[in-house]
Amino acid sequence: MKTYLDCIPCFFKQALFAARTAIDDEAKIKEVLDRIGLLVSEIPLDSTPPETGRQVYRTVREVTGVEDPFKELKKENIETALKLYPALKQTVETAEDPLETAVRLAIAGNVIDFGANPDFQLEQNIQEVLHREPAINHYQAFKEKLECAQNILYLGDNAGETVFDKILIETMAKPVTYAVRESPVINDATAQDAIDSGLDKVALVVSSGCDAPGTVLAACSDQFLDCFKKADMIISKGQGNYETLSNEERPIFYLLMAKCPIIARDLGVKVRDTVIKS
């Protein structure tokens, strides 16, 4: 997905939120915004939003000196999700179609997002997503693809959401490689967050090699690109991965909640709609 002009005010909003989460120093936070200001003219509109997001969050880290502003929030979200795990697991196991329920839960977990959606309500959202029809629903294609898939690449998104991903991976019962960001960016999951969520018990956890809040292939490691090429099914979680991969010709299934009006418009859905898209 290209960068829309509407993304530009949003980069400032996100930088402000991240910088305020990192430090309590108005002059320094202003310096972050000053530097993002200088970036604007260098944003090509045919690049994807996470390519700029990468620079925005790098600037926040450089100016504030805080490597991972969302560290504590990520930890809390993983803990909250782990507490929900037994009940969610039971919901899946007693469902008429456990796979479908697990897919919906994995999408419900995508509400945990400090980039596009800092004021999320997790538990309320789970019930809503479980009972609402996805606005784009390629679940049948997902199910059929899964039946014959032998080499699944699962692209993670946010810390905490990772626990919901674990439930889907357990329900799929197939060999899965789970890819995370190379280093902290917003509340996206890193290898440590994946391990803290127990994903190393059910999948091979790898890094994409990239520190963007998405999967910018040009910035990914050779090892990851090899996984990406060889996978016979790719499950892509969240907005950032969709934004960076939506033009790729690979067997990708996007599972996400549309949290910003721009992505919603790009997908032809409404804000808060859920999507299972091949």
Go through the chain and tell me how many residues it has: 278
User: 113: which 2 tokens?
Assistant: 């997002």
User: 115: which 2 tokens?
Assistant: 């980039």
Q: Which phi and psi angles does 134 have, rounded to 5°?
A: -60, 145
Per CB under 8 A, does 62 bind its own copies? no
Q: Which of 1, 18, 22, 29 binds its own copies (CB under 8 A)?
A: 29
Question: Minimum distance between the CB of residue 31 and its own copies, rounded to whole angstroms?
Answer: 8
List the interface residues with its own copies, window 184-213 (CB under 8 A): none
Task: Give the Cα separation of 57 and 187 in Å (integer).
Answer: 11
- Asked whether 194 and 200 are in contact (CB, 8 A), the reply is yes
Per CB under 8 A, does 22 bind its own copies? no
Per CB under 8 A, does 271 bind its own copies? no
Question: Minimum distance between the CB of residue 52 and its own copies, rounded to whole angstroms?
Answer: 12
User: 242: which 2 tokens?
Assistant: 């969709």
Residue 15 vs 245, nearer CB to its own copies: 15
Question: Minimum distance between the CB of residue 119 and its own copies, rounded to whole angstroms?
Answer: 13
Per CB under 8 A, does 218 bind its own copies? no
Per CB under 8 A, does 41 bind its own copies? yes
Question: Minimum distance between the CB of residue 25 and its own copies, rounded to whole angstroms?
Answer: 11
Distances (CA, A) of 128 to 108, 118, 157: 8, 18, 20
93 Cβ partners below 8 Å, 6+ apart?
A: none
Task: Give the Cα separation of 33 and 73 in Å (integer).
Answer: 23
Positive or negative torsion for Cα 140, 143, 146, 147: negative
Per CB under 8 A, does 39 bind its own copies? yes
Strand 233-237 and strand 204-207: the pairing is unpaired
Location of structure tokens 């629903």: 137
Question: Minimum distance between the CB of residue 58 and its own copies, rounded to whole angstroms?
Answer: 17
Size of the site for its own copies (CB under 8 A): 21
User: Where are the alpha helices (H) located in 40-121, listed in sequence order?
Assistant: 49-64, 71-93, 98-108
List the interface residues with its own copies, window 102-141 (CB under 8 A): none
Q: Which phi and psi angles does 229 have, rounded to 5°?
A: -75, -40
Residue 12 vs 85, nearer CB to its own copies: 12
The residue range among 34-42, 97-105, 139-147, 250-258 that interacts with its own copies, by the rule CB under 8 A, is 34-42
Per CB under 8 A, does 13 bind its own copies? yes
Per CB under 8 A, does 24 bind its own copies? no
Per CB under 8 A, does 37 bind its own copies? yes
Per CB under 8 A, does 40 bind its own copies? yes
Residue 7 vs 194, nearer CB to its own copies: 7
- Asked whether 203 and 169 are in contact (CB, 8 A), the reply is yes
Provide the binding-site residues for its own copies, judged by CB under 8 A: 5-6, 8-10, 12-13, 16, 20, 26, 29-30, 33-34, 36-41, 45
